[in-house]
A and B are shown apart, each in its own frame.
Chain A
Amino acid sequence: MNLSYSECSARERLAALLDAGSFHEWLPPQARITSPHLAQLGVPSSFDDGVAIGRGRLAGQDVFVAAQEGAFMGGGVGEVHGAKLVGLLRRAQRERPRAVLLLAESGGVRLHEANAGLIGVSEVMRAVFDLRATGVPVLVLIGGANGCFGGMGLVARCADRVIISDVGRLAMSGPEVIEASHGVEEFDARDRALVWRTTGGKHRYLLGDADALVDDDVAAFRQAALDWLDRPRPLDLAALEAEHTLLAERQRQAQGCDDARELWQRLGVPEPASVPDLEVAALRPLRPALPETP
């Protein structure tokens, strides 16, 4: 039976993604580790500060997991929230699970405690790189209603692999922020089709910013996580040069291009106009060949 990933809460996702009953949470809600800053502001807090972390099993293999709760402040990263992620990544360095799965759903830095959130996100980024350097891969799963934006959009691309659904979104600044800054002509945040083809899962997959595109189904995410579990992306000078070549070439191809349909055309996607209407399975073969990644 299809269980919508986007409609699940963070803990529902973990329960359905991992082997049944295998999730063991660290600093669970019962521990009541909340944000003192929200309390000071008189804003309701959450007993897990919006993220569940712990260990579990995926087809019998030990993994560490974190799931951000989009329903709490849009998954925004505050001081405690960020520290839980950093703690998980550092613990993974010590205990070396098969992989770390980050179920990201976040608008980025939590603006109520923005300074601490910004530093926290940078600590997460460094912890991700530290962990990758030891050979434990980090996989980011994106398919929540709030997407994966801001600092978490950066974190996602600091990881080894990204798995996204067709209703997932991955970007830096939200359309509303861009519209507020440069006007509705720059980015009409209410034009849903435009928003989806600029930040949505299909676009990210076609560009190679996501390794896997899946349906909005927890079982599909589980299968994709298993498929990519043993494919770390080691970072060395050669890998960074390859990434640079790819990004520089893309920038060259996209010169003067502001719309995804035009960009897909230039990148050689067959029938780019049909992309928004295609099912996931029909879209996957349309991705232009990407350079071989290790």
Chain B
Amino acid sequence: MHWNELATALFGPDHGLQAEGALITGTVSFDGQPMAVIGTIDHAPIGVELALRQARAVLDLMAQHPGRPLLLLVDTQGQQLRRHDELLGINRAMAHLAACVDQARRRGHRVIALVYDQALSGGFLATGLMADACYALPAAEIRVMRLPAMARVTKIAEERLQALSQSNPVFAPGVANYVAMGGIQGLWEGDLAAALRQALQTAPREDQRAALGAERAGRRCAAPVIQQVLDAA
């Protein structure tokens, strides 16, 4: 879905959000209350610059509007694959962004993320996966790697991976699989504003994704292993 279409569905045609380059920032009114929105568009690769611009927006929100809820709109092809960014320490810039999002949660901001188009590996780690809860549109795409590439890297036949992925969500991309694994809290379908309203009320503040993955049977090991470590003599 185009970001403007999404913003209109959520906040009406006068949402007031604007894109500057690959970044959307702004304040919308939701149910009569101000809400901050930070997002990326056009499958933007997250490099040092875009990570810092997002971090700046989160820092400004914390300083100027304590407690105001934040909606992160995710559309990224992953981290920027450039030598310049590696030279500068892209991992530090992305960790800084993650720390800012985490700090916002800790200071009482509600942080909801929505994958409305594409979420790939590194770019997703620093934003959507650091929110109180991350949701997705049913048509969104979430993955680390497509099956053909995974087949090449792991030297396992694509047909085999395809077959295995029917019963094990760990193997194949897709939002439904991320829901089953607990990485995505839920899908937003139909009335998107109602879904956002619901998320603001019910998103967990603690990280419950491992338990969710076990409950939904898409990621059965993580929760029991964590518990075993906690209980180990």
Contacts and interface: CB of A to CB of B under 8 A. Distances in A.
A74 to B, nearest CB: 11
Contacts, number: 245
A118 B183 contact: yes
Contact of B84 (A43, A235, A258): A258
B39 interface: no
A34 to B, nearest CB: 9
B99 A240 contact: yes
A114 B209 CA distance: 16
Nearest to A95: B230
A209 interface: yes
B59 A241 contact: yes
B221 A79 contact: yes
B181 A115 contact: yes
B4 interface: no
A84 B232 CA distance: 11
A168 interface: no
A57 B129 CA distance: 34
B147 to A, nearest CB: 11
A120 B222 contact: yes
Nearest to B100: A240
Contact of A79 (B86, B99, B219): B219
Given A79-B222, A182-B82, 18 more contacts: A27-B225, A41-B154, A41-B160, A41-B164, A53-B229, A84-B229, A91-B229, A111-B154, A113-B170, A117-B144, A120-B222, A122-B129, A123-B207, A125-B125, A158-B98, A171-B86, A187-B86, A251-B88
Interface string B201-233: 000000101100100000111110111111010
Interface residues of A, number: 83
Chain B interface size, under 10 / 10 to 19 / 20 to 34 / 35 or more: 35 or more
B103 A36 contact: no
A88 B83 contact: no
B95 A158 contact: yes
A124 B102 CA distance: 13
A35 B225 CA distance: 11
Tell me if A's interface is mostly helix, strand, loop or mixed: helix
Nearest to A152: B91
A20 interface: no
Contact of A119 (B95, B122, B129, B153): B129
Interface string B144-176: 110000100110100010001000111111000
Interface string A43-71: 10000000001000000000000000000
Interface stretch (B21-29, B49-57, B187-195): B49-57
Contacts of B121: 109, 118, 150-151
A244 interface: yes
